[in-house]
């Protein structure tokens, strides 16, 4: 059965920017998971929320498209809904987490995708969706 994955933007950045740390091979894990997804013909969901976070740190739309080009056969782009955006603001305020992280969790849940992240904020959203580390799937 095909799996659907949703990456927190930090996972994308680990992959594209080779952001390994001592004793924490984040880039390696992200790369291995992406290779496995491609080999297994699974799907990665990329959202407007990911795009906005990339833009906020200085990536242009063209640069993002170029980075994702090789993954297009395994990639689905989704737009967040106004309901998800409203709910993410509420969750962020009530749980003291970034609203974009709350939005990532909602997008993953609503698209029946496995949320991949190393960010601890998502532990506060376990009732929305369970988060997983990349190495759990490689």
What pLDDT digit, counting tens, does each position of 72-102 carry? Answer: 999 999 999 999 999 999 999 999 999 999 9
Instruction: Identify the pLDDT of residue 1.
Output: 80
Decide if 12 contacts 31 (C-beta within 8 A): no
Query: For residue 14, with 0-12 CB atoms within 10 Å meaning exposed, 13-18 middle and 19 or more buried, which class applies?
Result: buried
- Could you tell me which of 67, 100, 66 has the C-alpha nearest to residue 85? 100
> Thinking of the domain 4-137, which architecture would CATH place it in?
3-Layer(aba) Sandwich (3.40)
Q: Is the pLDDT of residue 54 over 90?
A: yes
**CA triplet 47, 54, 27: central angle to 5 degrees?**
95
Query: What are the sequence ranges of the domains in the chain?
Result: 4-137
What pLDDT digit, counting tens, does each position of 2-36 carry? Answer: 999 999 999 999 999 988 888 899 999 999 999 99
Decide if 6 contacts 44 (C-beta within 8 A): yes
In the chain, % helix, strand, coil (3-state, to 5) comes to 60, 15, 25
Instruction: Identify the pLDDT of residue 20.
Output: 86
- On whether the pTM is more than 0.85, the answer is yes
Phi, psi of 134 (to 5 degrees): -55, -40
Strand-pair category, 114-116 with 131-132: parallel
């Amino acid at each position: 059965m095909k799996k659907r994955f949703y990456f927190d933007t930090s996972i994308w950045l680990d992959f594209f920017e080779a952001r390994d740390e001592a004793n924490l091979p984040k880039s390696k894990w992200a790369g291995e998971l992406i290779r496995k997804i491609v080999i297994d013909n699974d799907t990665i969901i990329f959202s407007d929320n990911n795009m906005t976070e990339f833009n906020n740190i200085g990536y242009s739309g063209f640069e993002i498209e170029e980075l994702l080009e090789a993954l297009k056969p395994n990639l689905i782009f989704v737009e967040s809904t106004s309901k998800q955006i409203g709910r993410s603001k509420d969750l962020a305020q009530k749980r003291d987490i970034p609203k974009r992280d709350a939005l990532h969790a909602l997008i993953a849940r609503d698209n029946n995708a496995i949320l991949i992240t190393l960010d601890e904020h998502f532990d506060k959203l376990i009732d929305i969706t369970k988060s997983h580390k990349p190495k759990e799937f490689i």
